[in-house]
Structure 1
Amino acid sequence: MTTIAARLRRLGTEAGFAGIRIDRVWGAMLAILLAVAVLDPEQAGSSLRFVVDALVSTAPYLAASIAIAAYAGATGADALVARAFSGRIGAMIFLAALFGGLSPFCSCGVIPLIAALLAMGVPLAPVMAFWLASPVIDPAQFVLTAGTIGTEFAVAKTAAAVGLGLFGGFGTLWLGRAGFLSDPLRPGVGNGGCGGAKMRNPKPPVWAFWNEPERIAKFRAEGMKATLFLVKWLALAFLLESLMLVWLPAETVAAAVGGEGLWPIVVATLVGVPAYLNGYAALPLVSGLMAQGMAPGAGLSFLVAGGVSSLPAAIAVFALVKRPVFALYLGFALSGSLIAGIAFQAIQ
């Protein structure tokens, strides 16, 4: 995708010395690894293995999404996708929130898809709806939640995911129409640049792109650029995740949100937003706390907030949108998770 290439050039602020140009994301990862190697050499090796293993496990999602994005760019079909999302924003928000809440995508697997949608010029509102809903739950996690905490809680978590998506999607739409998000994406991503041109002047796609050497070259180039863009941000996310899991144990975070009443729900939300917890690992911890008296609403708020604001999801947002939109994303995660917890607690 040409827009991702432009994004790569802008996000890749290079530090030039001795004729070497270093992308700032790779530079940050190298600096972190060197610092950890000095403080805890064993942990540096463990973190590096964690990053490699996580990238390998995410590879199928990356490969499929990058291939689709490169194919769309080479054939010109990305213009049709962007066009299909135009003029029906309300319906798209509903569909995006529903699909996000029911889809099997985790916060890592959804990143390539979101990057492709934004690069194709899909409006931010339905993308925000999908982005907020998708990391909260998936079919496998629904079954595990029902088995560890209960079916009612699993249904509530699914409803919270869809509701959070609708809340963020329509909130983004309203703010955009009010003029607060007139230019939400970073330069070179989404509706700006060639993405906007494709939406304004769509051309018939060439599905059999392999018959034209120029389109074959474009397919390869777009696939490579998209791969470099996505891999570096995912690698940074996984590196930070590995350190948080060691230095900020899940048990410590979860133990801070015990108790009953409204205040634990507020605390659970505040703790859940900045803290990363694997959705599957967090379930038995929350189940144990609830068995000891933790409010169900607090448990729901903690799981929803932690899922939405996980490092892979949050870093992906930061990489593709401007800082005010990133703050808006976290704001939706915070307020939406709090509302979901209070509502669930009220019906208990």
Structure 2
Amino acid sequence: MIYEFIEQSILSSVNILNGSSSWLIISFLLAGTLKNLVSPEKFQKMLGNKKFSSILKSIFSSLLLPVCSCGTFPLAISMYYSGAYLGPTLAFLTANPVMNPIAIILCYGLLGPKLTVIYIITGLTLAIIVGIVANNFSGSEVCLDNSFDGQGAFELEEDKPSVIQKIKRGINWAFTDLAMVVSKYVVLGMVLAGFILTIAQDNSIQKILGDPSMISLGGVAILAGIMYVCAVGHIPFIAALIATGVAPGVAITFLMAGAATNLPELLSLYKIIGKKAVLIYFSIITGGSLIGGYVANMILLPNFKPVMDFDKVNHSVNTANKFIITFPHWMKVICTIGIVVLGVIAIWKDLRIKYLNHKMKVEK
């Protein structure tokens, strides 16, 4: 029984990693490419301040980066490392799953225009609130001291690297620094998510979500935290539940809270930035998702009719599929192995440093 549980947990963790690892690798490459192409001075001017305009810039930049929500976190951390304040960083992290063009197309076709508008307004509102609160109440976590970054942030004028050199240095930084930091917490978070998902059993969760008599927005927020929610991938799932009679506000709460209560993301955010960042992000998005779901129910009920016109649904899915990048299984496996290897190396280095520090204390 125990061995079966462990085996199922490992399989769940691997499945979660397979679904996100390709996007993580792409995000590392993108973060590394952008890092040195945009000078620290320009980045500081754009997002390294507490101006409201900086929050708006980070929010609407997500329209230009239609990556899966699981790949958003490395990009957000890269922004923070490059000089962005915590407000724009968390605003980007909140808005990207909502502003993703693929998500908007699927929402419009599968959930209808009214729910789509409420979803977008909720996401944008919460992103703005998160950004403002983070900029003003996060203390020392509001920005990172960039003096640690030795990857050419302070180039001599006579030694200006070419564009190719900048990209190479950025990608080297992405996989020797950023990926190491992110991967170890992602791997640990995925393992934890796999165990929780095995305990809860995905089928049981879907049965509860599909039973209107058992559903509540608070319960949805909790269940969304248990499941590993992809803002794009779970839109068809939640649309099917709405079609069975579940209240429309469930869609808002489930999709918004699911992104905020992602265990690997929260664990990484806590370890890389700090507890205030997690508290601000988690509390505002989770609480806001409940309010958004409640408002959606007030506006749309009792005369809400699910959008399940199959011609319209198929058209929207086909349109969205034109933008969705699907990765072959072999690529997912290779990327998963890469993320695990990076995570294991990072954990091993941490343990080795702790061992050497302990050894030095004993010798003294």
TM-score of the aligned structures, taking structure 2 as reference length: 0.67
Counterparts of 1:211 and 1:259, CA distance in 2: 57
Range that drifts further, 302-311 or 252-261: 252-261
Q: Residue in 2 aligned with 1:20?
A: none
Which residue type is aligned with residue 333 of structure 1? Answer: I
Give the CA deviation at 1:320.
2.0
Note closer, same or farther for the CA distance 1:282–1:55 as it changes in structure 2 (3 Å cut).
Answer: closer
Indicate whether 1:191 and 2:144 are aligned.
yes
Tell me, in whole angstroms, the C-alpha distance in 2 between the residues paired with 1:209 and 1:288.
Answer: 48
Deviates more, 1:145-154 or 1:252-261: 252-261
- Please give the secondary structure, in 1, of the residue aligned with 2:52: helix
In the TM superposition, residue 337 of structure 1 has moved relative to its aligned partner by 0.5
Instruction: Select the structure that is richer in helix.
Output: 2
**Equivalent position to 1:182, from 139, 162, 183:** 139
User: Equivalents in 2 of 1:219, 1:293: separation in Å?
Assistant: 48
Aligned to 1:341: 293
1:227 corresponds to which of 179, 195, 202: 179
The equivalent of 2:160 in structure 1 is: 206
| Residue number among 153, 158, 166 corresponding to 2:120 in the alignment | 158
Q: Is the Cα contact below 8 Å between 2:77 and 2:89 reproduced in 1? A: no
Quick one: distance in 1 between partners of 2:6 and 2:241?
32
Paired AA for residue 291 in structure 1:
A
User: How far off its partner does 1:323 sit?
Assistant: 1.3
Q: Which amino acid aligns with 2:118?
A: A
TM-score by length of 1: 0.69
| Counterparts of 2:170 and 2:294, CA distance in 1 | 50
Q: Distance in 2 between matches of 1:210 and 1:294?
A: 53
Cα distance, 1:231–1:294 mapped onto 2, change above 3 Å: same
Question: 1:207-265, CA deviations, whole angstroms, 9 ceiling, x for partnerless residues?
Answer: 427789xx98797466422232233233333333444444434443344455489x823
Supply the distance in 2 between the matched residues of 1:202 and 1:82 (Cα, whole angstroms). Answer: 16
**Per-residue displacement from partner, 1:87-143 (whole Å, max 9, x unpaired)?**
562011123233447841333211221121111221111111111222346222222
Distance 1:236 1:68, change over 3 A: farther
| Distance in 2 separating the partners of 1:49 and 1:251 | 15
Pair 1:104–1:249, CA change in 2 (3 A): farther
How far, CA to CA, are the matches of 1:117 and 1:316 in structure 2?
15
Matching of residue 90 in structure 1 with residue 52 in structure 2: yes
Other-structure match for 1:144? 106
Aligned AA for 1:93? Answer: I
CA distance in 2: counterparts of 1:108 and 1:146, whole angstroms: 22
* Backbone CA RMSD of aligned residues: 3.8
Matches within 5 A, 1:113-132: 113-132=75-94
**4+ residue runs of structure 1 moved beyond 6 angstroms?**
195-198, 201-205, 209-212, 215-219
Aligned residue identity for 1:323: K
The residue aligned with 2:27 is 61
How many angstroms apart in 1 are the aligned matches of 2:165 and 2:112?
55
Identity %: 17
**1:112 paired residue number:** 74
2:43 aligns with 81
CA separation of 1:171/1:260 partners in 2, compared to 1, >3 Å: closer, same or farther? Answer: farther
Judge which range, 164-173 or 217-226, deviates more.
217-226
| Superposed displacement of residue 310, structure 1 | 2.0
Q: CA deviation at 1:274?
A: 4.9
* Bigger mean CA offset, 287-296 vs 276-285: 276-285
Specify the SS of the correspondent of 2:140: coil
Shift of 1:331: 0.3
Q: Which residue number corresponds to residue 134 of structure 1?
A: 96
Which sections of structure 2, spanning at least 5 residues, go unmatched?
A: 301-364
1:109 aligned counterpart, secondary structure: helix
Aligned partner of 1:14 in structure 2 is none
Which residue of 1 is the match for residue 347 of structure 2? Answer: none
1:269 aligned residue (221, 232, 244): 221
Distance 1:253 1:278, change over 3 A: farther
**Distance in 2 separating the partners of 1:84 and 1:113:** 16
C-alpha change, 1:203 and 1:302, in structure 2 (3 Å) is farther
- The structural deviation recorded for 1:80 is 3.0
Question: Equivalents in 1 of 2:165, 2:243: separation in Å?
Answer: 63
Residue equivalent to 1:7: none
Change (3 A) 1:86 1:148: closer
CA contact (8 A) 2:40 2:82 kept: yes
CA contact (8 A) 2:44 2:83 kept: yes
Aligned to 1:329: 281
Trace 1:284-323 onto structure 2 (pairs within 5 A).
284-323=236-275
Residue 44 to residue 334, structure 1, CA distance change in 2 (3 Å): closer
Structure 2: how far apart are the matches of 1:133 and 1:101?
9
AA at the equivalent of 2:140: D
Inter-partner Cα distance in structure 2 for 1:196 and 1:225: 10
Seen in structure 2, the aligned counterparts of structure 1 residues 211 and 340 have a Cα distance that, compared at 3 Å, is closer
